[in-house]
Amino acid sequence: NAGVTQTPKFQVLKTGQSMTLQCAQDMNHNSMYWYRQDPGMGLRLIYYSASEGTTDKGEVPNGYNVSRLNKREFSLRLESAAPSQTSVYFCASSVRTGNTEAFFGQGTRLTVV
Amino acid sequence: AQTVTQSQPEMSVQEAETVTLSCTYDTSESDYYLFWYKQPPSRQMILVIRQEAYKQQNATENRFSVNFQKAAKSFSLKISDSQLGDAAMYFCAYRGPYSGGGADGLTFGKGTHLIIQP
């Protein structure tokens, strides 16, 4: 039972490079999320997709774009990476929005040099 | 906006002892969920326990239990008979109803680093 799968697990980018973080869930969940985790900051919401075909900004969306490719997949794109985007990125999914628990992927450690 | 505060950046406990991690939150909602997540060095976010605000009974999962005080907006986690495998970062998180007017998703505290002394 895979749950939420993120790729890659680690990535090093140079400033200005672009990349896409991939996320897929096999739980038939409607809602998906991208968070970033910085030291001493907890997790903060970047973007989310309440249902297939919709995306919305979270707390820290600047510098990112997302695509809900289908019900299973939700990608996060950095168009021009900056050192401030060095972080651990988590994808999560929920059966629906609102009062329900979230299931997390294993995280991607991204370093921008 | 909702906020979650964990006032203990780090806690230390002897193996087999009991430890309580504190969490307070702020919300104007009456129906919401609260969670404790564990993050070991592997980085994986593991759900430890959840509490539904409309339930007065405190949630319990084996050695983990919560003290949910809705009026005080307090949600502490008690770990009994601490084990070396409990060493991790612990995050308190809030999730409220989604009306479409604000962002969905979890609001996290900054975490408490739990150290287990053998």
pLDDT, position B56: 86
Of A42, A48, A107, which has the smallest distance from its Cβ to B108's Cβ?
A: A42
Residue range(s) defining the domain that contains residue B48 = 3-97+107-117
pLDDT, position A21: 98
Q: Is the pLDDT of residue B79 over 80?
A: yes
pLDDT band at A98, cuts 50/70/90?
confident
Q: What is the CATH number of the domain that holds B57?
A: 2.60.40.10
Query: Does residue B33 fall inside a structural domain?
Result: yes
Q: What is the mean pLDDT of chain B?
A: 93
Query: Does residue B102 fall inside a structural domain?
Result: no
Q: What is the mean pLDDT of chain A?
A: 94
Q: What residues of chain B lie within 8 A of the CB of A32, using their CB? A: none
Gap from B2 CA to chain A (nearest CA, Å):
12
Q: For A24-59, what is each residue's pLDDT tens digit?
A: 999 999 999 999 999 888 899 999 999 999 999 999
Gap from B15 CA to chain A (nearest CA, Å):
26
Count of C-beta atoms within a 10 Å radius of residue B42: 10
Number of domains present in the structure of chain B: 1
Query: Does residue B92 fall inside a structural domain?
Result: yes
> Can you say whether the dihedral through the CA atoms of A99, B92, A77, A24 is positive or negative?
negative
Q: Is the CB of A19 inside 8 Å of chain B's CB atoms? A: no
Query: Does residue B7 fall inside a structural domain?
Result: yes
Query: Does residue B58 fall inside a structural domain?
Result: yes
Query: Does residue B69 fall inside a structural domain?
Result: yes
Give the N- to C-terminal CA distance of chain B in Å, as an integer. Answer: 41
Please give the average per-residue pLDDT across B84-110, as a whole number.
88
- Using DSSP, state whether B84 is helix, strand or coil: helix
Query: Does residue B43 fall inside a structural domain?
Result: yes
Query: Does residue B45 fall inside a structural domain?
Result: yes
